[in-house]
């Protein structure tokens, strides 16, 4: 068994995945056509070429991301894209996904909250892949809007496991959403928030997430590594960093490899995720992991450790976690046995 096959067949979990970032250029065009939405790009090639985001990377990426999300207009659209993504997970040997969705944009475009959750659930229930939902607030919108969404989410507590924060970080510090997080914790939701890469006040934002919001995970969170105290804090509290060493069209390869190696060496709980697989050149799990493994020269044990961290950081019952971890260890042992005997 070579490394590629080892990674392809590895039982996987993905904790940082936006369902709106799984719509392929082909699908974007089909949905734009079906829903009568006029988008600026007219062919798959034009859409793919536009994935060279340039600078500022987060803002330009988000512009593309929201343009693609804008073609989603009905529960049927949400159902179909979720079904497509979960079919991909089967091929990727992804066993468990904590799937983020952004309700605010969907509601604005006319999908009701219940319809949105029903559509996600309809696709989830027929899939062999285990999934849980994470509701993300766009941090460039208001606290009031976030509190309204939380009120709606209270009726779907069996479906939504956690709350998150995404979109434009500049000028929107985590504490803007203190009340949303406090209320969410009281209601029993798990908590995460994006701390994106290379943002102003990145270290302070990570500190706010850990100490003010009291998150259980951080999405990305690479700048935790800039502060020895925050490194200690995430280790002590078991806060998993859901890193996404994705790369854009035109990049030489995965970003942030030195940081993820340092996380591994310092026993910081970090896992590897695709974020928005149809919007980055890194695409889906096996491809992203294989290129990260090659370029970072990570061993099979090290790749297994990242995946162990994903299952440990997931919000599933301990019995299921134990079963996944056993399967993951067995996969590593088979690889080692075959390597020793070949
Ligand atoms: N960061 C912020 N907002 C997002 C992201 C991200 O990585 N993906 C989708 N929305
Ligand atoms: Zn993200």
pLDDT of residue 301: 98
Quickly state the pLDDT bin for 337 (edges 50, 70, 90). confident
- Asked whether the beta carbons of 305 and 289 are under 8 A apart, the reply is no
Residue 198 makes CB contacts below 8 A (sequence gap 6+) with: 57, 58
Cα gap 288→92, rounded to integer Å: 11
pLDDT of residue 250: 87
Q: How is 158-208 classified by DSSP, letter by letter? A: TTEEEEEEES--TT--GGGGHHHHHHHHHTT-EE--EE-TT-TTHHHHHHI
Strand partners, 17: 99, 275
Cα(322) to ligand 1 centroid in Å equals: 30
Distance of CA 219 to the CA centre of its chain: 7
Cα(23) to ligand 2 centroid in Å equals: 15
> Mind listing the pLDDT tens digit for each residue in 31-67?
999 999 999 999 999 999 999 998 888 999 999 999 9
pLDDT of residue 16: 98
> Mind listing the pLDDT tens digit for each residue in 193-212?
999 999 999 999 999 999 99
Cα(57) to ligand 2 centroid in Å equals: 13
pLDDT of residue 341: 85
Distance of CA 244 to the CA centre of its chain: 8
Ordered alpha helix ranges (H), the chain: 3-9, 25-35, 44-49, 57-69, 75-92, 103-108, 113-125, 143-153, 178-186, 202-207, 228-237, 257-265, 285-296, 300-313, 318-341
pLDDT at 84 over 90: yes
Nearest CA-CA partner of 285 in 276, 274, 301, 299:
274
pLDDT at 226 over 90: yes
- Secondary structure class of 297 (helix, strand, coil): coil
> Mind listing the pLDDT tens digit for each residue in 85-141?
999 999 999 999 999 999 999 999 999 999 999 999 999 999 999 999 999 999 999
> Mind listing the pLDDT tens digit for each residue in 9-31?
999 999 999 999 999 999 999 99
Q: Which residue has the tokens 């500022």?
A: 56
Quickly state the pLDDT bin for 269 (edges 50, 70, 90). very high
Kindly list the protein residues whose Cβ atom lies closer than 6 A to any atom of ligand 1.
Answer: 18, 21, 65, 166-167, 194, 196, 275-276
Q: Which domains does the chain have, with CATH numbers?
A: 3-341 (3.20.20.140)
Tell me, yes or no, if the pTM score tops 0.85: yes
Average of per-residue pLDDT values in the chain: 97
Other beta carbons within 10 Å of 90: 12
pLDDT of residue 257: 97
pLDDT at 273 over 80: yes
Cα gap 196→112, rounded to integer Å: 29
Which ligand has the nearest atom to the CA of 219?
2
């Amino acid at each position: 068994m070579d490394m590629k096959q080892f990674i392809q067949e590895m039982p996987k979990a993905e904790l940082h995945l936006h369902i709106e970032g799984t719509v392929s250029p082909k699908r974007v065009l089909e949905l734009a056509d079906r829903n009568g939405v006029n988008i600026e790009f007219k062919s798959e090639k034009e859409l793919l070429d536009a994935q060279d985001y340039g600078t500022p990377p987060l803002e330009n990426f988000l512009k593309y991301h929201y343009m693609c999300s804008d073609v989603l207009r009905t529960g049927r659209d949400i159902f179909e894209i979720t079904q497509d993504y979960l079919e991909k997970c089967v091929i990727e040997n992804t066993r468990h996904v904590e799937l983020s969705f952004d309700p605010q944009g969907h509601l604005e475009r006319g999908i009701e909250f219940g319809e949105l959750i029903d559509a996600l659930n309809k696709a989830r229930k027929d899939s062999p892949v285990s999934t849980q939902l994470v509701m993300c607030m766009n941090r460039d919108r208001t606290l009031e809007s976030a509190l309204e969404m939380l009120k709606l989410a209270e009726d779907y507590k069996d479906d939504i496991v956690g709350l998150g924060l995404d979109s434009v970080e500049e000028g929107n510090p985590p504490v803007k959403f203190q009340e949303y997080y406090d209320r969410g914790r009281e209601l029993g939701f798990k908590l995460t928030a994006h701390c994106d890469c290379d943002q102003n006040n990145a270290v302070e934002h990570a500190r706010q997430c850990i100490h003010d919001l009291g998150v259980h995970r951080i999405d990305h969170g690479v700048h935790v590594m800039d502060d020895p105290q925050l490194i200690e804090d995430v280790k002590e509290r078991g806060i998993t960093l859901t890193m996404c060493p994705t790369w854009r069209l035109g990049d030489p390869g995965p970003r942030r490899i030195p940081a993820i190696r340092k996380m591994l060496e310092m026993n910081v709980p970090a896992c590897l995720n695709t974020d928005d697989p149809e919007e980055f050149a890194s695409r889906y799990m096996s491809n992203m992991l294989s290129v990260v493994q090659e370029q970072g020269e990570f061993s099979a044990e090290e790749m297994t450790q990242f995946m162990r961290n994903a299952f440990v950081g997931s919000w599933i019952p301990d019995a299921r976690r134990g079963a996944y971890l056993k399967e993951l260890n067995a996969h590593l042992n088979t690889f080692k046995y075959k390597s020793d005997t070949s």
